[in-house]
Amino acid sequence: MPSSSTFNVVDTTIADIHAAYQDGSLTARQLVQMYLDRIEAYDKNGPQINSVISINPSALDDADRLDKALADGGMVGPLHGIPLLMKDQADVDGMPTTMGSVLFKDHNPGRDCTIATKLKDAGAIFIGKATLGEMGAGDSHGSLYGSTRNVYDLERTAGGSSGGSGAAVSANFATVCIGQEGFASIRRPSIWNGVAGMRPTAGLVSRHGVYAGWPMINGSLGPMSRTVADMAKTLDCMVGYDAADPVTARGVGKAPESYADLLDKDALKGKRVGIMRTPMGHRTEPDSEDFAKITALFDRAVGELADAGAIIVDPVEIPGMNDLLDKRARNNTEENQSFEDYAAGGANTPFKTRAEIMASPLFQETAHGVRTRWKNEDTSKEFGEYLHARDMLMTRFLATMADHNLDAIVHKAVEHQPTLIKDGINPPHIDQWGAPHINTFLIFVPSVVVPAGFTTDNLPGGITFLGRPYDDANMINFAYAYEQATHHRKIPDCAP
């Protein structure tokens, strides 16, 4: 077996890995073992980042199978031998789906979600599951595992709900991680852990076999990675129509043949970028010193966009934006049906309905955010007002882009710095602080986040590229151009 002693796994890319496979200096088994060793050293021990909730017992066998395929004829797909971690609310055969909760501790659904199948067909290896905000709610605290630590300050939260995915990919526990976002659950933990991430436009990526899927439509699965190129390559293997998730019918014909093939480091040159400065994050505090530190970072980023060739339109405003965002509401009927469909699709589901979950004594052991959110029953009138507000905000958003002839809107990825774990699990129960959610309010628009450096507290911040419906390719390309012009990614000291 060739020696992998010369291969540096830290901040490696899909391209680096494939080059090493091709020249015989690395095998998939060796790479998987490197990631497993790092998880043991830095996630379970050492700084105890606590971002990986379970390990795939078949990961090394899967690697051996792919190594044999390469020796027998070549790579099986564009993600051949690429180790991934999946947020633990999506089913991967042979592994539990726990939602980070004691409620689902022994839940082994015995199936692949659609995206797990697609990624496996592309050659990816699932090495484990990542932690999350329990039941997909809020920052990454869960009754089954505790709290996930931020890789740049271990006393702070990794964010959520895809906090495990953000921390794990930043700490180099996998090449790419998969997150899921229904509020700001990919974008915020990506930026708070210094990586790129995106919530694709709803309808591009199937959520079949994923908790909180159809008939709910605000959530999307998306890639989280250390480079925008790896994000694009992963997304290429995720998009497509799936009859089991009808919202994907909206995405038919809306994706290019390859997002990755369109990447251009000069993509920002001559593009009109509107700067949205209106505070809009969840429970944001615009007059605070913390908010000011993010603003200073954001101001630098706007200058860097101009340096990269963008034509800056600063500021732009969407009339009545926050009044409309305040109308956000949930459809309890859809949410109940979504869970029942998910539970019926797999094996060993301990509960058939959400009502059964809330009636269980174990429900009282769940994280504060779960109990608070699940007991909030919006009325049909409130949901109707939200639908009207959503339609109105989409029109005003598109009109703002048209009035200024914009190619994208840029806003702060998160309006505050990462919060302390102790303040999240105890009163005042700070959660999702400063998280913008305009994209998941509108649903059918893409958002891509990319690191923009560090504040004076040495904590990460970033920017969001927000675009028109299904303009995911341009948002990815603009993020790539900004990344290539700035190179703000920084390897966390806690996992060298």
The catalytic residue positions are 87, 161, 185
Cβ atoms of 280 and 494 closer than 8 Å: no
Among candidate residues 19, 47, 263, the one with its CA nearest the CA of residue 172: 47
Cβ atoms of 139 and 131 closer than 8 Å: no
- DSSP annotation of 280 reads -
For residue 198, report the phi and psi dihedrals to the nearest 5 degrees: -150, 145
Cis peptide bond prior to 109, omega within 30° of 0:
no
Q: Which amino acid is located at 222 in the chain? A: G
Q: Which amino acid is located at 494 in the chain? A: C
Write down the residue that tokens 């710095």 correspond to: 417
Nearest-angstrom CA–CA distance, 234 and 246: 22
Tokens of 362: 């174990």
Nearest-angstrom CA–CA distance, 447 and 472: 8
Tokens of 141: 């605290």
Task: Give the CA distances from residue 101 to residues 71, 147, 155, 272, 444, in Å, rounded to whole numbers and listed in that order.
Answer: 42, 12, 22, 45, 30
Nearest-angstrom CA–CA distance, 99 and 160: 13
Decide: helix, strand or coil at residue 245: coil
- DSSP annotation of 94 reads T
